[in-house]
Amino acid sequence: MRWGATIAIAALTALALAANAQTPPPSRVAPGDFDFYVFTLSWSPGLCDTGGAASSPEQCAIGSGQGFVVHGLWPDNRYADDPVDCGPTSASSEALRMAASVYPSEGLARYEYAKHGTCTGYAPESYFQAAKHLREQIVTPNALRTPRAALRLSPEEIESAFMASNVNLHADNMAVTCSGGELIDLRFCISKNLKAYAVCPPKVFERSCRALQLTIAPLR
């Protein structure tokens, strides 16, 4: 079992993110009613190979060179239902300029703020700032940055590569998902104050990849 008792959760939640970010976090903790975040990085080639091209043509275009990109910053609860679609969704041009440096398309940024960002209680600018801050914190292992040929790795090997590249990251803080035998995304559980990893509850691991090995498709 990948999750422990309350004492273990408290101990691991205190393990801080490394100080890699140049973008500061928002000046206040999100006021929304939720327990922690799931921060999701999509592996673009895998997403595009398994049906994502229709909804993300820019991300999936040949020559785009997209690898791990921010898919979402989702406010989640350990036991209660996760909040979605919580309120007004308009985003200013200033907010969308910030989002352009984080998300692979404006359409995805708008969708993610409407569905998830509104539930944080943050204005769009602060929500996208939080996503950018976390993206700068998570270091992609060198071998997974720009692969030009397909790789075959187990979910555990992918986790180990990220743990080796990110101080304080543990297997209990992340989940690997796949579809059709390909890597789709990585999901990191993050404390509500954006300062530490959190132990993921069992429901985050329900979508974990069960394959012994999976394909990491090369960049397009």
* pLDDT value, residue 58: 86
Residues 166 and 18 sit within 8 Å (Cβ to Cβ): yes
**Which pLDDT does position 9 carry in this prediction?**
42
The CATH architecture one would assign to domain 6-216 is Alpha-Beta Complex (3.90)
pLDDT of residue 1: 41
Helix (H, G, I), strand (E, B) or coil at 200: coil
Neighbour tally for 209: CB within 10 Å: 21
- Round to whole Å and give the CA distance between 137 and 147: 21
pLDDT at 10: 42
What pLDDT was estimated at residue 3? 41
Grouped pLDDT means (10 residues each) for the chain, 220 residues: 41 72 96 98 95 88 93 97 94 94 94 97 97 97 96 98 97 97 97 97 96 95
Between CA 36 and CA 199 the distance in angstroms is 10
- pLDDT value at position 153? 98
Specify the pTM: 0.92
